[in-house]
Amino acid sequence: MSASIETLVNKEYQYGFVTDIESDTIPVGLTEETVRLISAKKQEPQWLLDWRLKAFRRWLTMTEPSWPNVKYTKVDYQAQTYYSAPKSVKPLQSLDEVDPELLRTYEKLGISLTEQKRLSGVAVDAIFDSVSVGTTMKDELKKAGVVFCSFGEAVHEHPDLIQKYLGSVVPYSDNFFAALNSAVFSDGSFVFVPKGVKCPLELSTYFRINAAETGQFERTLIVAEEGASVSYLEGCTAPKRSTNQLHAAVVELIALDDATIKYSTVQNWYAGDADGVGGIYNFVTKRGKAMARAKISWTQVETGSAITWKYPSVILQGDDSTGEFYSVAVVNNHQQADTGTKMIHIGRNTKSTIISKGISAGHGQNSYRGQVKVLPKAEGARNYTQCDSMLIGNKCGAHTFPYIEVANDSATLEHEASTSKIGEDQIFYCKQRGLNTEHAISLIVAGFCKEVFKELPMEFALEAQQLLGISLEGSVG
């Protein structure tokens, strides 16, 4: 290994710092009392507490899924803290009131919460541990009639909307982690785009885990009414800690007739060190429901987390609806990812596209698990799936588990998958043109992922590409 690669290998996870801030943290453990306490802290209405309790009781009867192709030490749910909030957070009138320590934290993460961000045309909701610390550009959004706020705020200000849509796509009984989230979720983002409105800004939520031994359970709900459209991006980081931390989020998207929702994720939770110690367990349920002629598009760049368990799905409920899934998942060192999508074709002439690119390096294990289901009434359903895996080094693994279930003869489905080593001839060619190995690989990988990156909002595509480069540093030598 050359000296320059050596330095790159030892390069630290640059978001691994801890913010020293006073927190309001509830005691460890999870009982019905914990659920009541979280709900009380957030001054929630009775119906929401009841819903949480139903979820909690259901969760008690459920068992953690063992089918994903990942190995990890099981989480001790009684050793976690389910709520932690920076002490200074009160309802804020403006971002000027945010604790400067928090602002500095986001500054360090490259997320500016101050108004200069206005120029880039992105509104940001920043979530620190369990609560939202601030949402930018609210006024501008308000003019367009778009609601973009923290989930907690939405419960108070738009209870009717929350009550109508919460759990309508991912019911609390959906799965083990969704039930857990429904019981203890602390905050998250809420987006509502009314009929016919094209959201004027890109919306973005930035999640930061700071406190130790704390799980993060956020809940995102995006509703686009008839003919509305919105593009949303989430990013996430966490400090370096030697213990595993749990992140179990739920995202629900509702696209009514003719609406479009584009949801992009750049997931960069702390992945653990080179020996696989520490890192985030990322167990996430994401699902969208597309009504007639609506379109839901998931784009994800997954580079972080020790364990990823995540299947952003689309229920193609309405006729002529469209679902898309574009994914780049990178595993290096001892990371494991079991990720993919579900496309459930219910309506007529529904279309889905799945493009999944998996890159495995080091001791990483990467699995694509996807389901394309065509129900008997889904006349003329169409699916195209392509999942490619690239292997860098001989200690890693790439696995593909597609499920194709078709019960309508007018459906047309195509599934293609390939796995191969990074091309030595391509590396040789690049080197012969004067690029070093590291650059050659990053160029080849960027080309391999191009189809997915082009789906990301422009300013994030660049970030994703850089992130990918960092994740793979030192994987060859």
Partner 1 sequence: MSTASYQDQFAALASERKGPEWLPALRQAAMTRFAELGFPTTRNEDWHFTSVTPIAERTFKPVRAEKSSVTLDALSPYLFGAEDWHRLVFVNGRFDPALSMFAGLPAEVTVSTLADALKTQPELLVEELGKLAQYVEQPFTALNTAFMSDGVVIHVPADVVVEVPIHIVHVADSGAAGAALYPRTLVRADRHAQVTLVESFIGLDRATYLTNAVTELTVGEGAVVGHYKIQREAEDAYHVYTSQAIQAATSTYHAFSFASGSALSRTNIYTRLNGAGAEGRLNGLYCLDGSQHCDHQTFVEHIAPNCASRELYKGILDGSAHGVFNGKVYVDPEAQKTDGKQSNHTLLLSGTARIDSKPQLEIFADDVKCTHGATVGRLQDIALFYLKSRGISAVSARALLTYAFAAEVLETIEVDAIRLGLEALVFERFTNGVPA
Q: Which parts of this chain interact with partner 1 (CB under 8 A)? A: 67, 376, 389, 391-421
Element (H, E) at 427: helix 424-432
Residue 290 Cβ vs partner 1, minimum distance, rounded to whole Å = 22
Give the nearest distance from C-beta 151 to partner 1 in angstroms. Answer: 35
CB of 348 to partner 1, least distance (A): 13
Amino acid at 54: K
In the three-class reduction of DSSP (H, G, I as helix; E, B as strand; rest coil), residue 98 is classed as coil
User: Is residue 356 within 8 Å of 368, Cβ to Cβ?
Assistant: yes
What phi and psi, each to the nearest 5 degrees, are found at residue 312? -60, 125
As a whole number of angstroms, the distance between CA 205 and CA 122 comes to 10
How many Å apart are CA 366 and CA 310, to the nearest integer? 12
Residue number with CB closer to partner 1 (112 or 419): 419
Smallest separation (angstroms) from partner 1 to the CB of 353: 15
Shorter beta-carbon distance to partner 1: residue 18 or 407? 407
Residue 16 beta carbon to partner 1: minimum distance, rounded to whole angstroms: 29
CB of 120 to partner 1, least distance (A): 40
Q: Phi and psi (nearest 5°) for 95? A: -70, -15
Q: Secondary structure of the chain: what % helix, strand, coil (to 5)?
A: 25, 35, 40
The number of beta carbons lying within 10 Å of the beta carbon of residue 160 is 7
Q: Which is nearer to partner 1, 118 or 415 (CB)?
A: 415
Shortest separation between residue 343's beta carbon and partner 1, angstroms = 13
What's the DSSP call for residue 73?
Answer: P
Shortest distance (Å) from residue 66 CB to partner 1: 11
Q: Based on CB atoms, which residue is closest to partner 1, 236 or 398?
A: 398
Nearest distance from C-beta of residue 229 to partner 1, angstroms: 32
Cα–Cα dist 31/36, whole Å: 9
Of residues 239, 241, 289, the one with CA closest to residue 268: 239
Q: Please report how close the Cβ of residue 332 comes to partner 1 at its closest, in angstroms.
A: 13
Contact criterion met (CB below 8 Å) for 375 and 406: no
| Nearest in space to 299 (alpha carbons), one of 343, 258, 329, 268 | 329
Of the pair 297, 385, the CB lying nearest partner 1 is at 385
Of 34 and 365, CB closest to partner 1? 365
Smaller CB separation from partner 1, 261 or 359: 359
Cα distances from 281 to residues 238, 247, 304, in angstroms, run 11, 6, 10
**Which amino acid is it at 76?**
D
**Among residues 293 and 369, whose Cβ is nearest to partner 1?**
369
Give the residue among 349, 309, 353 at the shortest CA–CA distance from 329: 309
CB of 379 to partner 1, least distance (A): 9
In the bound state with partner 1, the residue whose beta carbon lies nearer, of 111 and 391, is 391
Asked if residues 270 and 279 have their Cβ atoms less than 8 Å apart, the reply is yes
Q: What 3-state DSSP class applies to 72?
A: coil
Of 407, 295, 298, 405, nearest to 351 by C-alpha is 295
The C-alpha atoms of residue 166 and residue 18 are separated, in whole angstroms, by 33
**And the tokens for 395?**
């200690």
> Based on CB atoms, which residue is closest to partner 1, 10 or 412?
412
Number of neighbouring beta carbons within 10 Å of residue 181: 30
Is 395 or 450 the residue whose CB approaches partner 1 more closely?
A: 395
Q: How far apart are CA 250 and CA 247, in angstroms?
A: 10
Q: Which pair of tokens denotes residue 399? A: 């696995």
